[in-house]
Amino acid sequence: MCWRSTGRLTPAHRARRLPADTPKRPDPEALLAAANKAGRGRLKVFLGMAPGVGKTYEMLRAARRRKAEGKDVVIGLVETHGRRETESLLRDMEVMPRKPIDHRERVVMEFDLDAALARRPKLLLVDEYAHANAAGSRHPKRWQDVEELLAAGIDVWTTLNVQHLESLVDVVQRITGVRQRETVPDNALSRADAIEVIDITPDELRERMAAGKVYVPETARLASENFFKIENLTALRELALRRAAQTVDDQLVATMREKGVEGPWAAGERILVLVSGDAMAGGLVRTGRRLSDMMMDAPWTVAHVDRPDRPPPGPAGAARASDALKLAEQLGGSTIVLTGADVVATVMAYARRNNVTQIVIGKSADSRWRELLGKSLAPALLREARGAAIHVVTEAAHEAVVEPPRPRSPAPWMGYLTGAGFVAIASLFAWGLDIAFDRVDLGMIFLAAVLAAGVLHGLRPALAAATVAFLVYNYLFLEPRHSFAIGSPIDLLTLVVFWAVALASGGLAGRVRDQGRDAQRRASAVSALLAASRVFSAAAGREAAARAIAEQAAAAAGGKAVVLLSHNGELESAAGAPSLDALDATPMAAARWAWEKGEPAGFGTGTLPQARWTFWPLDGVRSRAGVAGIEAGAMVPGSDTERLVLALLGQGAVALERAELATEAVETETLRRADRFRSALLNSISHDLRTPLSTVLGASSTLIDYGKTLKAAVRDDLILSIREEAERLNRYVGNLLDMTRLEGGALRLRTDWTDVRDVLGAAAERVTRRLGERQLVRDYPGQLSLVRVDGGLLEQAIVNILENAIAYSPSGARIEMAAYEDRANVVISIEDEGRGIPATELEGVFEKFRRMEEPSDRSQGAGLGLSIAKGFIDAMGGRIAAASPIHDGKGTRMLISLPKAVVTPHHLL
Amino acid sequence: MSISRPRILVIDDEPQIHRFLGPALDAAGYEPLRADAGQEGLRGIALWSPDAVVLDLGLPDMDGKDVLIRAREFYEGPILILSARDREAEKIQALDNGANDYLEKPFGVGELLARLRAALRQRASARAPAGPIRSGDVEIDLDKRRVTRGGAVVKVSPKEYDLLARLALGHGRLLTHKDLLVAVWGAAHATDTQYLRVFIGQLRQKLEDDPAQPKIIETEPGVGYRFISD
């Protein structure tokens, strides 16, 4: 490795950069980080260089002191490894029971996270930060458990050996030869609010080992001899101390930033790590992190360049690249995927835009021939990189990974066979030409065969065809004929030209084919997205949208998909494709996790990876609409398919949200209508009651105050108006009572054989006084069948209809009242010459409180009358209907038909 | 009919209202004029320039509020609003749009005539040359910015004085919360009715014989206040 000198700033620099009395504005990011920490529990890590230094012992002693001070201290989990001194410290302490978890046919006792969250102590002790939980736990790693505890506001103390730190894994491996499986991302340590280094000298540790005081796990016993060598321990000790010092330094810097003190942080360094899908990716990311540490936490980014002109790397490569990006995020770096055909230009454009000062690249063994061709990345970058330092990391032999062979195109021998066929045809043709003409350049014909093979079948068949073609050409047509001997050196040129044409055409064809396949794949992804968006936008309602999402996602992923929506606060499966299967407890827990935390959960994630499903939150623009799950094994993580599915889910989430909003809008509209109806009803009642009251009150008070001075005629008119209005009020109250009776089911029918003509006469009598100038015409036949009805109710219904006809007729108009019969019914018809009812209103004319805009005579408390009439007629088994307009676009006809048959009792109510 | 009788235009679509209001107004010494709809009413105001208008807010052809706004463009006389009790917001809006007072249906004729007299008097006093405004033993001298009660000077803060003067200049007219707030505290405080409660309370402590039963500054709950001048 090589790097540009960065150097920390000397105190002299600091003094210059910190003006004496200008208060500095605190760094907003630092304040934000502090605010995020506010509700969290505090994390303390007891850090050691190796097992056996006494971390757990120290932690327990400190905990006992806290408990003696009266703090609520609980031991969540402590591994004593049978050490008596440590065990004695557990006495009188509250120790939580462990939770049994079935793990490959044996029961493992694990830390019980849920019990700890329920217990909510002030301070919880959880040993062995780097521990990997047994499959079946909520999180695969214990540090994730701790993270959840901290988020819940619980203070946590834990222990950690330095060799478990993710970024140090390969360094430790170089030192000790042991590769750590249980690791903790560096972030998890940086988040610690306090670190206590438990330090003893390597000699002491070896003495303790000799005295049998150090527990060494079975698995590491073989390596332990090697591991506990003095030089190893010394190196590890240095690492532990350095890491602790660095964390202290980070915290100092953070505090200074928070307080607005300018300091020597981020000395303008920015690190860019380039990874491809090869085996070095992980190592490069770790190198980037260490480099960032050395440069006072300089921001670092891991980039992967996607080349649209290249066929995508195999699934293994894609997975490695995506793993590297994930690792970078775990280690606290940011990640980006760049797209561009020219790697160097793309990288340099990004680097210049972002002021990158350090670039880390890998140099793998297989790129040596590229180097020879001048195509190697490192020298190209070196030529281009102005001002940036380049770190080239060479591949460590042990990290090499055997790449599974890429699947080849089907039946490759077909290509060779066709190539041979082309050469055979060319030979025949050339032979014919050779006989027919003299001195023809037959090489061209063979060249055509090579070209054809290349264009149709790619590089290798083309090369093969070129070789065969040359041999045949040489044997048959070049002097000396019928021998493979080469006559003149210029003939060799023919071979070279054949090969060159094969290379060019085959390579070109191959690339065209790959690009075609690529374009096709992309086009199909785009059209899938388009099709999905059409389906989504057509989905009406939440359930339909959920079903569409499940179907589209299942089709895109090529497996099972499920969509869960929140129903009354509970997450429930709403749709599944190809079928809606019930989810087990574990996938359900993962789905709930995704819903509550808004992050992916289940298979392939950090939460509940043993679930056979992966769940993603469906985040819309305003809120989370639900959760979508894809069954494991349907698609490769990081593949194009996954990207397509995620894009689909994104679209689906918006569609789902839109459906929810639409439902809400409909509900609001319904409510608004109900509200409008209620206020219309109130207006109607208040108007119909208050207007007659106003007249009664006004006329009577006029009579009281000025009765003596009024003329007799005026006085009489006022008294008359009082009576009229009191009657009107009485009618209205009667209507309200009738309505209440109808609605309350209190209507009792007193049916008897009735002559409709008598009823019509009585009703006409009741409205005579209100007719005024209007004319009431009656038209009855001499003979009319009797019907069995309640005469009183029928009369009231007719009165209501007549009153309505009067209210809407101009003065002087005719109102026609007729009765006739057909085979089954006696029909009553009442016609007026009023304005009529618009077709749109006709249906609702019998609804309660329905009143047309403006009756010509408002003395009628309209709005209830027709609805009551309908109620009564219905109750008697009859039917009522309105027709309008009846002539010249004016007038209304009300028809009442009463059955002549005996009314059966169940029709009555 | 003598020419000196004040003419009152009643705009209402209910024939029953005209039926008793006509004779009542006539008997009380006014000349009643009748309009059954908004347009007709506006024409009536323009044609006859009545001394006062009684306007029902619920009219068949146009909204009573619009009649009020259109009328105020050319008519300065008192306008009384007839309205139902459940239309509080409508009433306040009408007052803000320039109505002088309102009456709730159903109403007694005595009350209507009293309001009508008050409104006509306001008009007369507004035209009269400025002088001290009296209400009982309280006297407000607008020229000297001085308030006396029984001859003794009452100490009022500048805001209290502004509020009192504004009320007194209404001469019995009902002033809405918004009207008072905008005039005294500015448009930014148009909804801060708590200011009014505090300051009216203070004024009543200083001016009323029994602040719990105010005689000088009357409250119209939910609408505003009126100053009862002699």
**How far does the CA of residue B173 sit from the closest CA of chain A (Å)?**
23
**How far does the CA of residue A701 sit from the closest CA of chain B (Å)?**
6
Asked whether this chain's domains A25-259 and A271-399 adopt the same fold, the reply is yes
User: Which tokens hold the place of A697?
Assistant: 């009150």
Poorest-confidence range of A366-370, A603-607, A671-675, A775-779?
A366-370
Domain boundaries, chain A: 25-259, 271-399, 413-514, 539-659, 745-907
Pairing status of strand A123-126 against strand A73-77 = parallel
Whole-number Å distance between alpha carbons of A27 and A35:
12
Closest residue in B to A694 (Cα) is: B106
User: Which tokens hold the place of A760?
Assistant: 């019509």
User: Which tokens hold the place of A519?
Assistant: 């374009």
Whole-number Å distance between alpha carbons of A680 and A131:
70
Closest residue in A to B16 (Cα) is: A695
CATH class of A539-659: alpha beta
Residue A33 has pLDDT above 70, yes or no: no
**How far does the CA of residue B15 sit from the closest CA of chain A (Å)?**
9
| pLDDT at residue A169 in the model | 79
The pLDDT-based confidence of A530 (bands split at 50, 70, 90) is confident
Domains, chain B, in order of start with CATH, read: 7-127 (3.40.50.2300), 133-227 (1.10.10.10)
What percent of chain B has pLDDT above 70?
94
State residue A895 phi and psi, 5-degree precision: -115, 130
Residue A850 has pLDDT above 80, yes or no: no
The pLDDT-based confidence of A22 (bands split at 50, 70, 90) is very low
Nearest to A79 by CA among A104, A46, A103, A42: A46
Please list, in sequence order, all residues whose beta carbon lies within 8 angstroms of the beta carbon of residue A141, skipping any fewer than 6 positions away: A130, A131, A132, A133, A184, A606
A35-79 residue pLDDT tens = 566 678 889 999 888 888 888 888 988 899 888 888 889 998 888
Angle between helices A791-807 and A756-771 (to 10 degrees): 40
| pLDDT at residue A696 in the model | 92
Residue the block writes with tokens 């006093």: B125
Inter-chain touch A699–B17, beta carbons under 8 Å: no
Inter-chain touch B106–A709, beta carbons under 8 Å: no
Q: Which residues of B touch A859 (CB under 8 A)?
A: 16
Q: Say whether residue A698 is in contact with chain B using an 8 A CB cutoff.
A: yes
Q: Which residues of A touch B107 (CB under 8 A)?
A: 694, 697-698
The pLDDT-based confidence of A412 (bands split at 50, 70, 90) is low
Residue A218 has pLDDT above 70, yes or no: no
- Rounded average pLDDT over A139-148: 88
Residue B33 has pLDDT above 90, yes or no: yes
Strand blocks (E) in A774-908? 775-779, 787-789, 814-821, 825-832, 879-883, 892-899
The pLDDT-based confidence of B9 (bands split at 50, 70, 90) is very high
Residue A908 has pLDDT above 80, yes or no: no
Which among B14, B86, B108 is the nearest to A691, CB-wise?
A: B14
How far apart, in Å, are the Cα atoms of A260 and each of A23, A212, A380, A886? 8, 52, 42, 87
User: Which tokens hold the place of B40?
Assistant: 């007709």
The pLDDT-based confidence of B86 (bands split at 50, 70, 90) is low
DSSP conformation letters of A209-222: HHTT-S---GGGHH
| pLDDT at residue B1 in the model | 43
Q: Is the peptide bond before A480 cis (omega within 30 degrees of 0)?
A: yes
Mutate to test the interface with B, among A682, A690, A694, A720 (most CBs of B within 10 A): A694
Most confidently predicted of A666-680, A837-851, B214-228: B214-228
Which among B24, B27, B105 is the nearest to A690, CB-wise?
A: B105
Mutate to test the interface with A, among B61, B87, B109, B115 (most CBs of A within 10 A): B109
Inter-chain touch B106–A702, beta carbons under 8 Å: no
A602-619 residue pLDDT tens = 888 878 888 888 999 988
Name the A residues in 361-400 with CB < 8 Å from any B CB: none
| pLDDT at residue A638 in the model | 64
Which among A690, A697, A718 is the nearest to B23, CB-wise?
A: A718
Q: Where is pLDDT greater, at A573 or A674?
A: A573
Q: Say whether residue A772 is in contact with chain B using an 8 A CB cutoff.
A: no
| pLDDT at residue A484 in the model | 78
| pLDDT at residue A310 in the model | 63
Poorest-confidence range of A18-27, A493-502, B27-36, B43-52?
A18-27
Poorest-confidence range of A245-249, B9-13, B62-66?
A245-249
Name the A residues in 826-885 with CB < 8 Å from any B CB: 854, 858-859
Residue A192 has pLDDT above 80, yes or no: yes
Q: Which residues of A touch B27 (CB under 8 A)?
A: 702, 705-706, 709-710
Inter-chain touch A701–B105, beta carbons under 8 Å: no
| pLDDT at residue A262 in the model | 47
Inter-chain touch B19–A699, beta carbons under 8 Å: yes
Q: Where is pLDDT greater, at A658 or B127?
A: A658
- Rounded average pLDDT over A496-512: 81
A271-399: CATH superfamily: HUPs (3.40.50.620)
Q: Is the peptide bond before A885 cis (omega within 30 degrees of 0)?
A: yes
Nearest to A49 by CA among A294, A228, A223, A173: A228
Residue A855 has pLDDT above 50, yes or no: no
Inter-chain touch A705–B17, beta carbons under 8 Å: no
| pLDDT at residue A8 in the model | 39
**Whole-prediction pTM:** 0.42
Whole-number Å distance between alpha carbons of A458 and A509:
6
Chain B positions with Cβ closer than 8 Å to A = 13-14, 16-17, 19-21, 23-24, 27-28, 58, 60, 84, 86, 105-110
Residue A554 has pLDDT above 80, yes or no: yes
Please list, in sequence order, all residues whose beta carbon lies within 8 angstroms of the beta carbon of residue A503, skipping any fewer than 6 positions away: A459, A462, A463
Inter-chain touch B14–A694, beta carbons under 8 Å: yes
DSSP conformation letters of chain B: --TTSPEEEEE-S-HHHHHHHHHHHHHTT-EEEEESSHHHHHHHHHHH--SEEEEES--SSS-HHHHHHHHHTT--S-EEEEEETT-HHHHHHHHHTT--EEEEES--HHHHHHHHHHHHHHHHHHHSPP--EEETTEEEETTTTEEEETTEEPP--HHHHHHHHHHHHTTT-EEEHHHHHHHHH-GGGTT-HHHHHHHHHHHHHHH-SSTTS-SSEEEETTTEEEE---
Q: Say whether residue A69 is in contact with chain B using an 8 A CB cutoff.
A: no
Q: Which residues of B touch A858 (CB under 8 A)?
A: 13-14
User: Which tokens hold the place of B68?
Assistant: 């009020």
Residue B54 has pLDDT above 90, yes or no: yes
Hey, which CATH number is domain A745-907, 3.40.50.2300, 2.60.120.10, 3.30.450.20, 3.30.565.10? 3.30.565.10
| pLDDT at residue A789 in the model | 87
Mean pLDDT of chain A: 78
For the CA atoms of A726, A729, A730, A732, the dihedral, rounded to the nearest 10 degrees, stands at: 160
Q: Say whether residue A474 is in contact with chain B using an 8 A CB cutoff.
A: no
Residue B97 has pLDDT above 90, yes or no: no
Q: Which amino acid would we find at residue A455?
A: V
Inter-chain touch A721–B16, beta carbons under 8 Å: yes
**How far does the CA of residue A741 sit from the closest CA of chain B (Å)?**
27
A243-293 residue pLDDT tens = 777 777 676 666 666 665 544 444 467 888 988 877 788 888 888 888 887
**How far does the CA of residue B33 sit from the closest CA of chain A (Å)?**
17
The pLDDT-based confidence of A529 (bands split at 50, 70, 90) is confident
Q: Where is pLDDT greater, at A496 or A13?
A: A496
Please list, in sequence order, all residues whose beta carbon lies within 8 angstroms of the beta carbon of residue A278, skipping any fewer than 6 positions away: A317, A320, A362, A364
A25-259 maps to which CATH number? Answer: 3.40.50.300
Residue A7 has pLDDT above 60, yes or no: no
| pLDDT at residue B204 in the model | 92
Residue B55 has pLDDT above 90, yes or no: yes
Whole-number Å distance between alpha carbons of A39 and A35:
8
Name the A residues in 700-739 with CB < 8 Å from any B CB: 701-702, 705-706, 709-710, 714, 717-718, 721, 724-725
State residue B180 phi and psi, 5-degree precision: -65, -45
- Rounded average pLDDT over A323-345: 78
Q: Which residues of B touch A705 (CB under 8 A)?
A: 24, 27-28, 109-110
Mutate to test the interface with A, among B10, B12, B13, B16 (most CBs of A within 10 A): B16
Nearest to A829 by CA among A837, A819, A821: A819
Q: Which residues of A touch B24 (CB under 8 A)?
A: 698, 701-702, 705-706
User: Which tokens hold the place of A101?
Assistant: 């978890």
**How far does the CA of residue A617 sit from the closest CA of chain B (Å)?**
45
Nearest to A725 by CA among B12, B19, B16, B15: B16
Residue A208 has pLDDT above 70, yes or no: yes
